[in-house]
């Protein structure tokens, strides 16, 4: 299966469990990986035969820069659900990282990863 990758997207958002996170906001790092069949695009060299990367990027930006959420899980789910609206996408993997988190010790980032797919593809695969 082929993959489309959008890695290292950086957005500013106002999400978190604590009111201060939602008031002050912070940087979020987003990675997206889509599993799909790209053979038609390979053969045609036509943008109509592949997933719209710009639309996916814009949706991720809208989700992260938009309305505040408590959980990163809900943000990642919205991005994955958008990607799966394109019937060519079999599964969507989304990672969201928060590099600036108030924790009692040092860490590079706090984050989540989710994978969502089409039920019929998962059952057959």
User: In this structure, are strands 89-98 and 110-117 parallel, antiparallel, or unpaired?
Assistant: antiparallel
Residues with a known catalytic role: 98
Mind spelling out the 3-state secondary structure of 58-100?
Answer: HHHHHHHHCCCCCCHHHHHHHHHHHHCCCCCEEEEEEEEEECC
Q: What is the rounded distance in angstroms from the CA atom of residue 89 to the CA atom of residue 108? A: 31
3 state SS of 24:
helix
């Amino acid at each position: 299966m082929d993959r489309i990758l959008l890695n290292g997207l950086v957005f500013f958002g106002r999400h978190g469990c604590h009111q201060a996170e939602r008031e002050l906001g912070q940087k979020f790092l987003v990675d997206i990986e889509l599993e799909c069949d790209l053979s038609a695009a390979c053969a045609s060299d036509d943008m109509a035969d592949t997933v719209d990367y710009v639309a996916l990027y814009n949706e991720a930006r809208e989700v992260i820069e938009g309305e505040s959420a408590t959980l990163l899980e809900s943000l990642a789910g919205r991005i994955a659900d958008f990607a799966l609206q394109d019937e060519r996408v079999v599964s969507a993997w989304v990672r969201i990282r928060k590099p600036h988190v108030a924790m009692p010790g040092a860490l590079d980032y706090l984050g989540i990863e989710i994978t969502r797919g089409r039920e019929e593809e998962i059952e057959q695969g």
